[in-house]
Amino acid sequence: MNALVRMAGAGALLGLVGLMAGCERPPIDAVQHGYRGTGMVQVYNPRTVDKLIPLNVVPEALPAAGADGPKAGEVYQNVKVLGDLSVGQFTRLMVAMTQWVSPEQGCNYCHNPQNLADDSMYTKVVARRMIQLTQTVNGNWQSHVQQTGVTCYTCHRGQPVPAQTWFQAPPQDLKSNFIGDKAQQNTPARSTTLATLPYDSFTYYFKQDFPIRVAGVEALPGEYGPLNRASIKQTEFTYGLMIHLSDSLGVNCTYCHNTRSFGNWAESPPQRVNAWHGIRMVREINNTYLEPLANVFPASRKGELGDVAKTNCATCHQGAYKPLFGASMLKDYPELGAVSRQSQAAGMPTGVLAKVLFEVNQTTLPADAKASIEQVAARMKGFPNVKLDISGYADRTGSAAKNLEIAKLRAFAVRDALKAGGVPDSQVNLKKPEFVIGDTSGNSRRVDIVATP
């Protein structure tokens, strides 16, 4: 008997050693982050934090340049965004951009040295759009970046390609249909720190705008049927996203939630509101600034599905609760702080201009969609170089081939309506129809109209 107890004890000890091997070595810092007794504590490994500190040092600012003298827009030939700056300020920003994005490659990473006004290098076309992106984030998204703001360095850190980006994952091949739809499970991926959660939450929340909220609002089904509609599958997508939020900020769930009730906003720390705006900001960065560059980036920079690299929380945060631990570079570069007059005046249509929703099995344009398509057509007048990408979506219930066919016919209907509104064929680009996984709401029966430069 005694021997048995001893054996069990030894087994437990071995088990414990085994468990500990998966843990982080003490000492660990714990910082209280909410009311005492609510378990709102942040746990930090000081060695991980130590490693992050040198990676978040801000490069020294260049000496300021005067605002006097002729404007860049008058002196140079092909300045479309920064024309309001003095030549001194313009040159200083070019030098800073070189330090932030291509310190090894220099000015010629974006420029044809024979002619600086030439737009033949794709990197220059991308960089121009990136200046507008940075101005929009700083000027229109202070609900997230506050006065701290961002510069090219926040994402690029001295590299032409930011370290943390994402591409859309290809859909599972269902041809043999032996295992069925895995719903992106059981395929460990970095995006969920190898947890067995769906590996591509990003497409649904950072490109599309699927509902993130899944918690039931009632204990029992309501009078008119169940109020708690979210499936377990949908919930797992939400958790996949939440793991990314925590991981990219180097925090745990209690940084934004009181885990007594994840859904309750009143009990959540203020950081959750900041994160809410962050999710919307990331969508705008991806849909209005990055996706429309798909025709500009070379194939070698694109993902398996031909999409461009996109932003998530880690692109800026890179493991820190605030990028660069909250240091502001923007104060030294105020020209990146507001949307410049030239960007505004241009009024060029960009990003998602309209989403046209369809009834089940219907391929004719719903009556209420006509007005929004006419608006799009009106906005396109005077912009012969802007193209419209027309993408049809279908959900994954029922026959795949039939759904894709329906999505295609819906895209045709939208194209015809645009044509009737005066947008010529040459400005319309029909994309391959796509599936939306895990959703049977009306949102997936749609056609998006996206303007690209």
Site for ligand HEC in 212-241 (CB under 6 A): 212-215, 238-239
CB of 70 to ligand HEC, least distance (A): 13
Please tell me whether residue 202 binds ligand HEC under the rule CB under 6 A: no
Q: Which one, 263 or 424, has the nearer CB to ligand HEC?
A: 263
For the purposes of burial, counting CB atoms within 10 Å of the CB of 298, is it exposed (0-12), middle (13-18) or buried (19 or more)?
exposed
With residues binned 3-state (H G I as helix, E B as strand, rest as coil), the percentages for the chain, rounded to 5, are 45, 10, 45
Q: Which one, 245 or 353, has the nearer CB to ligand HEC?
A: 245
CB of 291 to ligand HEC, least distance (A): 11
With contacts defined by CB under 6 A, name the span among 13-21, 26-34, 48-56, 146-154 that binds ligand HEC.
Answer: 146-154
Q: Which one, 110 or 423, has the nearer CB to ligand HEC?
A: 110
With contacts defined by CB under 6 A, name the span among 147-155, 194-202, 403-411, 425-433 that binds ligand HEC.
Answer: 147-155
What whole-number distance in Å separates Cα of residue 397 and Cα of residue 89?
A: 56
CB of 103 to ligand HEC, least distance (A): 9
Q: Tell me which H or E stretch contains 310.
A: none
Region 313-352 residues binding ligand HEC, contact defined as CB under 6 A: 313, 315-317, 321-323, 326
Region 278-317 residues binding ligand HEC, contact defined as CB under 6 A: 278-279, 282, 285, 290, 297, 301, 309, 311, 313, 315-317
The count of residues interacting with ligand HEC (CB under 6 A) is 82
What whole-number distance in Å separates Cα of residue 265 and Cα of residue 423?
A: 45
Start-end of H helices in 115-230: 122-140, 142-145, 152-156, 201-202
* Token couple for 383: 């912009």
| Binding characters for ligand HEC, 258-277, by CB under 6 A (x = yes) | ----xx-------xx-xxx-
- Which of 410, 376, 380 has its CA nearest to residue 392? 410
Q: Which one, 344 or 361, has the nearer CB to ligand HEC?
A: 344
What whole-number distance in Å separates Cα of residue 169 and Cα of residue 179?
A: 19
Contact 98, 151 (CB under 8 A): no
* Token couple for 239: 């958790």
Q: Which one, 86 or 403, has the nearer CB to ligand HEC?
A: 86
Whole-angstrom Cα Rg for the chain: 25
Q: Which one, 102 or 350, has the nearer CB to ligand HEC?
A: 102
Region 34-93 residues binding ligand HEC, contact defined as CB under 6 A: 76-82
Q: Which one, 89 or 403, has the nearer CB to ligand HEC?
A: 89
Q: Which one, 140 or 372, has the nearer CB to ligand HEC?
A: 140
- Which of 102, 96, 157 has its CA nearest to residue 126? 102
Strand partners of residue 27: none
Contact 313, 281 (CB under 8 A): no
Lookup result for tokens 């796509």: 434
Region 240-259 residues binding ligand HEC, contact defined as CB under 6 A: 242-243, 245-246, 249, 251, 253, 255-257
Region 161-180 residues binding ligand HEC, contact defined as CB under 6 A: 161-162, 165
Which of the 8 DSSP states describes residue 256?
Answer: T
Region 99-138 residues binding ligand HEC, contact defined as CB under 6 A: 101-102, 107, 109-111, 116-117, 123-124, 126-128, 130-131, 133-134, 137
* Token couple for 62: 């260049």
